[in-house]
Amino acid sequence: MITIIEIDTNLICEMTDKGERLDRRNFEEYRNVQVEQGFVSSAEGSARVRLGGTEVVAGVKMDVGEPFPDTPDEGVLMVATEFVPLASPDFEAGPPREEAIEVSRVVDRAIRESKALDMKKLCLTPGEKVWMIYIDIDVLDNDGNLIDAAGIAAAAALLDARIPELENDKPVYTEKGYHKLQLNGIPLSATVAKVSNRMLVDPSFAEEMAAHARLTIGSVDRDNQVHLCSMQKGGPGGFSQKEIEEVIDIALRKAEEIRDMLKKL
């Protein structure tokens, strides 16, 4: 028995072989990207991102807490993703699914390994008090490429974030802080899917179903250069060394386009 997904998958592969996509984009083209900062008034920083039919919201909250024992003079970063059940028939209420955990880890890794946040500057009292940065990502609608959408939202929320004022070593949340959270570059991820041995930027949900594999490349702009900072492979298929080099080149260029857009917000 042939299911609708199987029919769509076959169609997508056939079109890809012909150099076409269902939405008529070229292979290296993102869907329309819309970013709105300051979407959540109660957060220190926030952003809503629409990437085609995919929609996510990211919020940054900051609190004072104890550092990890092995990094007593560094702040703490935590990223969590929730798939809102209304976003997709596949999403269910309950503990985070494997896909949500993967989104969190990939976004976290790109930010952490980029060194865009100077964690030592988030230390208040070594071994006792540091700033804790929580990035919460909610997926409101899923039409594919959640990792890139979440990464863009997280970066935009960090750019929007202000550090709360302290009274008696406790954050004051009633007013926005005066000091922006300082970033050394903008960390972003760009995902390329491999469909019928062709490389597709920003795969839609249907294209993800047809993909043999995907590769997400994290990068950051610093010192007038773009630096590779993370990689994450998904899917059962593989990439040759030549294909990996091709994906890295494409992903770095596409991330720079998104980065330029965020700088203009």
Mean pLDDT of 248-263: 98
Between 223 and 193, the higher pLDDT residue:
193
- Sorting pLDDT into bands at 50, 70 and 90, what band is 86? low
Q: Are 230 and 113 in contact (CB under 8 A)?
A: yes
Question: Is a pLDDT exceeding 70 seen at residue 6?
Answer: no
User: The tokens 């985070």 sit on which residue?
Assistant: 96
Look at residue 8 in the predicted model and tell me its pLDDT.
80
| Highest CATH level, class, for 4-263 | alpha beta
Residue 22: exposure state from Cβ atoms within 10 A (0-12, 13-18, ≥19): middle
Average pLDDT score, the chain: 92
pLDDT digits (tens, 9 = 90+) for 211-221: 999 999 999 99
Mean pLDDT of 94-99: 65
- Sorting pLDDT into bands at 50, 70 and 90, what band is 92? low
Distance CA 66, CA 201 (A): 41
Lookup: tokens for 60: 């940054």
Q: Domains of the chain: which residue ranges?
A: 4-263
Residue type, 141: D
Look at residue 211 in the predicted model and tell me its pLDDT.
96
Reduced 3-state DSSP string for 91-135: CCCCCCCHHHHHHHHHHHHHHHHHCCCCHHHHEEECCCEEEEEEE
Q: Determine the angle formed by the axes of helices 146-160 and 98-114, rounding to 10 degrees.
A: 50
Look at residue 3 in the predicted model and tell me its pLDDT.
37
- Sorting pLDDT into bands at 50, 70 and 90, what band is 89? low
Claim: this prediction has a pTM higher than 0.85: yes
Residue 117 backbone dihedrals phi, psi, to 5 degrees: -95, 120
Distance CA 178, CA 118 (A): 19
Look at residue 173 in the predicted model and tell me its pLDDT.
87
Between 177 and 42, the higher pLDDT residue:
42
Look at residue 84 in the predicted model and tell me its pLDDT.
75
Distance CA 132, CA 180 (A): 15
